[in-house]
Structures are given as structure tokens and as C-alpha cells.
Amino acid sequence: VDQDVFVLNGEETIRVNPFGDQDAEKWASQVAEPWLVAARKAARHNAAVEVRKRQDLRLYGRAWTTTLPAPQLWGGADFDKGEKESDNDFNARVEKQIRTRFPITQSWVSARGTLPVFDENGDVAETIKIRKVDPEIVKSKFPDAKMPESSQPVEVIEYANHQWFAVIVPSGKPEESQELQVWDHHLGRHPDVLFEGEPLPEDPNNPGERWRGAAYHILSMVETMNDLLSDARTASRLEVTSPTVVKQDPEKRAAASSGKPEKLKLKAWATINIFDTENVSKLETGKLNDAIVGLLGFLKPLLDQTALSRPSLIGSILSGQSSVALNTAAQRATSELRVAQQSLERGAEQECQLLFRSVVSLNERFPNVPDVVTVRDADPKHGSREIAIEPKPLLDWEPLISVSISQNIPIDEGANVVNYATAVKSGALSKQSGRERYFSHEDPLGEEDKIKREQLADVLHEGTVQFLQQELLAGIQQTGAMTPEEIVAQAEGEPPEIQEVLAQMFDGQGDAETGALIRGNMNKNRTSRSPNPQAVARGG
């Protein structure tokens, strides 16, 4: 099952479950939820955090991310007041810097380089992260750090607990180790989030083994494959480079050479004459037997499945496989992945809670700075937006965050539509709740407002058309009787929209022939335009 974690690459839906009146529901769906979606994107700075997270969870059975406030982005020379700068200009510039710099970071951490310490409840109490970092990167973040002259990466240790975060460059001598940073992150909880796969049973003989990933199953297979490929390469090379051997007939050679056998010399592209009792062949070497070849063929697909995701579980239909069989297989596989799915959802909830706590932390560190933290996001669904959030209510709303992951089964989309319609029609769910449950809608109240505005626009449009029809009919009656030919000729130079209104007016008066003439001229004179939908529907 471990190799199928990538089936959980579906879109994450963040919910802030509101409590209170409609204002609280609007704040949750129109401020808190879109802010969290945009904040996760901004805090990661376009890094592939989700891909690396699932890769570690698949291979090692665990994954880590770190969420921390970055107060240094709200400080430095850019926030110093100039000598000739007025108070208004300075305040405006600082406010712009605060709005455009997102002061929270959320990064992926290598699972193999993270050493956790758990408390008596099984929660993460401390973490030690060991990384190799380029000296120039260390100098850019910590100018006072003393780096070796070599350009080789240096070892950096990061320590974190519920209050402190520290960065250290160790050395062989304790007195030469450098403490680059020690600070109180003010989060009130551990900044690292653990995503756990299926745990191993406790083994007193191996207390360090806690998780089981795909790599756990394939270690021996990788060693076996490596040995087999090495043997195959060696055997192939020996066969290519083995010398040529001539098996001579000494009696005939001695008779032909007056008692002294001739010593044959082999040359490239040269003709060699031998007796019919002699033979030329390659020196025999060790070869791969059929069992080794069969074992290679058996191991390769297993390793491929571990390193990659299976097509049948990510929405692509295999050759000769019906959609019903695909759906059944996917449902079965995703039920087996429930542990990994719950871990990803639970970890994502903790990441969002840490984003809320980071806003509160920044407010504590910068009490004189405006309370809001602003994030800008280019969202293809909702358009570009700028969302500001205040720290005051966030700790109360933190426990109400939930995250769900779509299981990538597109066949079930039709069932969601049917379930939504049935639940709403029967009164079991409101429209807003149905949109959240079956369509993972980010802003159900906003969608309801859009539907109402659209319905109002349709009513206004119909009313406007009826009003124009009445005015046009009254105008024609006032000018005297006009023949259909005159009316058609008069309408020919008008825009298509007006011609369509005229045609509908005559249809309503029972004069379908004149309406057909107007539409006929309208279609004849139309160039490089798509047909009017209403005209097409009427057969014009």
C-alpha cells in the first residue's frame, strides 16, 4: 500500500467550521478559509512542499514540515526612517512593506535528517534536524558566522521545542561550535508537524524503528537487485573481452612442419588456414543462468511500483479495463490508504493552526505595528485578492479548522451531484452545507450571493426586453401602417440584438413570417460571428 500514497495527491479543502451567527459564518468562509489557502502558498515561496511530503511518507513512512514566523522580514534597513522623510511618508512606506512581505515561512524538512523526542503522550516534544548547507547560504542569513574557507557544505543543526528555536554549527571541539541563533518563537506549541504512516509494532531489540514506508520493504530487494546487476555486468564484460582460443591438431601440424608444430598467430581481418580436425572458439567464462534472469524480471516491477505510483490508482484507465473495475479497484486501494490520508489531513490542520499562531506571535513581537497580516494571492477560481486577518480571534478559531483530501476518483463526481440534489430537496441539508460536503466549495455563502445576483440579472434582462418590445410596437403604430417589407428593410441596418428583439416582438403578435424575414437577413448579413443562441433555438 505504501507506494500508492500518491493517490492522495487530490486537492486539499480547508474548512473553518463556524460557530455563532451568519456574520461568523461569513467571516469563516470569506476571510479565514481563503486566507489560510493563500497563506500556505505564500509561506512556502513556491517550494514543492506537498510533493516532498508525500515522497517521504511513501519511502520512509513519515514526513516533516516546519512553520515559523519570520519577524526579520518586518525589520532591517527598509524599516528605518530617513533623515528627510516625513512621518506620513515613513508610515505609508512601512505599511506598504508590511502588506507586501508575508512574514511566515512553511518549509519541508528531510525525514531522514530529523530526530524527534516524544513525550509521555506520544506527542513531539523536541526535534533535532541535521542538514548540510552551503557556507555562502549560512553567511547570507547569519553575517557574523565564521565559515571555513572550503566551499564544501557545512553541517548545521536546528533544535526546536514548544518555546525555543536554535541554529548551531557544530565542531569537533565544543568551544569552537557556533550558536548562530536562539529565539523564542512565541507559538506556544512545537513548530514542526509530523505526518505519520503506518507505525511498526514496538520491538525492544530495535527501539529506533518506529515507522514503516516503502523503503522498509525494498531494502533487501535493492541490495539483491544491485548484486544481480553487478554480476550481469561483470559476466557480460568478461564474455566480450575473453580471448580467442585455437584448438590445434599437433600430429598434423608436426607432419606439415617437418616435425615442428606450427604456432598460429591470429590477426584481425587475416585469413587463417586450419585443418578440419582443428577449431577456433572464445574462451569460456561464467554466464548468467535462467534463474538469475527470472529473478531480475520479478524484482523490477516491484521496485518500479515502489518508486512510482500505479496508473490504475491515479485516474488513468489501463488497456482493457472497464471504468467499473477501475472504480472498484480504486475504492479498495484508497480504503487501505486511510491511515496515510488521515495523517495528511491531520498534519495539514496543524499547519493551518500554526499559521494562525504565527499571526498571534508576530503581534506579540511587534505590538506597535498594525495587527493585521496581509496576504496576496492570484487565484484562478476567485481572481487576484488581498486578504488581511487580525490576531485577536484566531486562537478561539484554531480548534475549528479541518482539512479534507479528495481521493482522486472522478467517477464519483456524478454521484455527488445526485446526493447533493437529494439531500437539499429532502431538507436534510441546506444548500450551503450541501455545497461544502459534496463539492468542497470554499465559499458557499458567496456562491449563493452569486446565484441570487445572476437570477436578478436574468429577471432584469427579461423585463428590459419586454419594455423595448412594447416601446417599439407603440412607435410603429404611431408612425402609421408599415408593410412587412418596409419593417424588414428598416431593421436590416440595426445591430443584431435589436433585430432579435424586433423578431421576438412580431412572434408575440402572431406575425411569425415577418420575424423569420428579419432573422433571415440578420443571418445573411452576419460575418465572422457566432449565431445568436436565441435565433438558433428558434430555427432562424
* DSSP-derived secondary structure for 388-428: EE-STTHHHHGGGEEEEE----GGGHHHHHHHHHHHHHHTS
Sign of the torsion angle spanned by Cα atoms 214, 219, 220, 226? positive
Sign of the torsion angle spanned by Cα atoms 145, 150, 153, 154? negative
Q: Are 233 and 273 in contact (CB under 8 A)?
A: no
CA-CA distance, 200 to 217, in Å (whole number)? 12
Helix (H, G, I), strand (E, B) or coil at 244: strand
CA-CA distance, 491 to 535, in Å (whole number)? 15
CA-CA distance, 420 to 422, in Å (whole number)? 5
Instruction: Provide the pLDDT confidence category of residue 449 given band limits of 50, 70 and 90.
Output: confident
The β-bridge partners of 41 are none
Q: Tell me the HSE value of 448 on the side-chain side, using a 13 A CA sphere.
A: 13
Among the ranges given (108-112, 151-155, 278-282, 365-369), the one the predictor scored with the smallest mean pLDDT: 365-369
pLDDT at residue 58 is higher than 70: yes
Query: Residue 139's pLDDT is what?
Result: 85
pLDDT at residue 208 is higher than 70: no
Q: Are 169 and 138 in contact (CB under 8 A)?
A: yes
pLDDT digit string, tens, across residues 98-126: 777 788 999 999 988 899 998 888 889 99
Q: Which residue has the cell 485578492?
A: 385
The β-bridge partners of 182 are 166
CA-CA distance, 521 to 169, in Å (whole number)? 83
Choice between 493 and 536, residue whose per-residue pLDDT is larger: 493
> Widest CA span of the chain, in angstroms?
138
pLDDT at residue 502 is higher than 70: yes
Choice between 474 and 376, residue whose per-residue pLDDT is larger: 376
CA-CA distance, 317 to 456, in Å (whole number)? 43
Q: Are 369 and 216 in contact (CB under 8 A)?
A: no
Helix (H, G, I), strand (E, B) or coil at 131: strand
Q: Which residue has the cell 451567527?
A: 21
Query: Residue 528's pLDDT is what?
Result: 41
pLDDT at residue 463 is higher than 60: yes
* DSSP-derived secondary structure for 251-276: HHHHHHTTTS-------TT------T
The β-bridge partners of 158 are 129, 167
CA-CA distance, 32 to 28, in Å (whole number)? 5
Q: Which residue has the cell 486501494?
A: 333
Neighbours of 22 (CB within 10 A): 9
Which range has the top average pLDDT, 28-32, 370-374, 413-417?
28-32
CA-CA distance, 114 to 382, in Å (whole number)? 38
What residue type is 466 in one-letter code?
A: Q
Q: Are 221 and 89 in contact (CB under 8 A)?
A: no
**DSSP conformational letter for 4:** G
Grid coordinates given for 68 = 515559523
CA-CA distance, 447 to 455, in Å (whole number)? 12
Q: Are 397 and 122 in contact (CB under 8 A)?
A: no
Q: Which residue has the cell 557574523?
A: 144
pLDDT at residue 535 is higher than 50: no
Grid coordinates given for 396 = 478561539
Choice between 79 and 395, residue whose per-residue pLDDT is larger: 395
- The string over 131-163, giving b where at least 16 C-beta atoms fall within 10 Å of a residue's C-beta and e elsewhere, is eeeebeebeeebeebebeeeeeebebbbebbee
Minimal CA–CA distance to 492: which of 482, 503, 481?
503
pLDDT digit string, tens, across residues 229-244: 888 888 888 877 777 7
Its pTM stands at 0.62
The β-bridge partners of 169 are 178
Instruction: Provide the pLDDT confidence category of residue 351 given band limits of 50, 70 and 90.
Output: very high
Instruction: Provide the pLDDT confidence category of residue 490 given band limits of 50, 70 and 90.
Output: low
Grid coordinates given for 53 = 511530503
Grid coordinates given for 40 = 500556505
**Average confidence score pLDDT of the chain:** 76
Spacing of C-alpha 507 from chain mean position: 54
CA-CA distance, 69 to 184, in Å (whole number)? 11
Give Rg (Cα) of the chain.
38
Query: Residue 387's pLDDT is what?
Result: 85
Query: Residue 517's pLDDT is what?
Result: 78
